[in-house]
A and B are shown apart, each in its own frame.
Chain A
């Protein structure tokens, strides 16, 4: 599985945008970029995913570099509830599902 590199931690002020970077220089053409997050004392939860184009959903936006060697998860207005560990994961999508390979992730702290 291709590896990703994320900063260990980041800090943000409440109500401000947050840009969480992820480097994946060895990404293959069929690897999708996924983001999951883990809130304190909970299991991980899906945030967003993409292949080549930028993606938006109700939780966040995903900006993917043209060469796909990096991506950025954007939380448009951080809230205290967004404090979590954010994982950038590469995996291929196929009909019968696929395991997720978690790294250390980025610990996001949100200040009020």
Chain B
């Protein structure tokens, strides 16, 4: 079974440009999360989808960030326009929606974003 995949693995853009990150969760996982680690800081939660609905977007830093999950499958995270402080590693994770047992989050390898 394929794990969580993220594309691209690395993106280098200039300040002011737009970048779109993609996450493909494990098949059947209705929960999808975005996290990021900026330089020298801890991993921070960005938002959580249940299927195509945003369950919690309390971690989104500002309106330059837009996340979508059309059809409840893959998700995209767009940064427009990118700023220097957006540089970091963006992780996606997915998990099952369950009622009784705990459903661990499975993380992708991350996308390293560098804004010059």
Contacts and interface: CB of A to CB of B under 8 A. Distances in A.
A interface, how many residues as a size bin?
20 to 34
Contact of A97 (B35, B42, B48, B110): B48
Interface in A86-112: 93, 95-104
Interface string A35-65: 0100001111110010000000000000000
Contacts of B110: 42-43
Contact of B45 (A43, A95, A100): A100
A45 B45 CA distance: 15
B42 A100 contact: no
Contacts of B109: 41-43
Given A95-B99, A96-B55, A96-B97, A46 B43 contact: no
Interface in B16-43: 31, 33, 35, 42-43
Given A46-B104, A97-B50, A102 B91 contact: no
A97 B104 contact: no
Nearest to B44: A102
Nearest to A102: B43
B102 A99 contact: no
A46 B94 CA distance: 12
B33 A32 contact: no
B52 to A, nearest CB: 13
A43 B91 contact: yes
A102 B42 contact: yes
Contacts of A36: 105
Top 9 nearest A-B pairs (CB, nearest first) are A43-B107, A46-B104, A102-B43, A97-B31, A99-B45, A44-B107, A43-B91, A96-B50, A102-B42
Given A44-B105, A97-B105, 19 more contacts: A36-B105, A42-B110, A43-B91, A43-B109, A45-B106, A45-B107, A46-B105, A49-B102, A49-B104, A93-B102, A95-B97, A95-B99, A96-B55, A97-B48, A97-B95, A97-B103, A99-B33, A101-B45, A104-B42
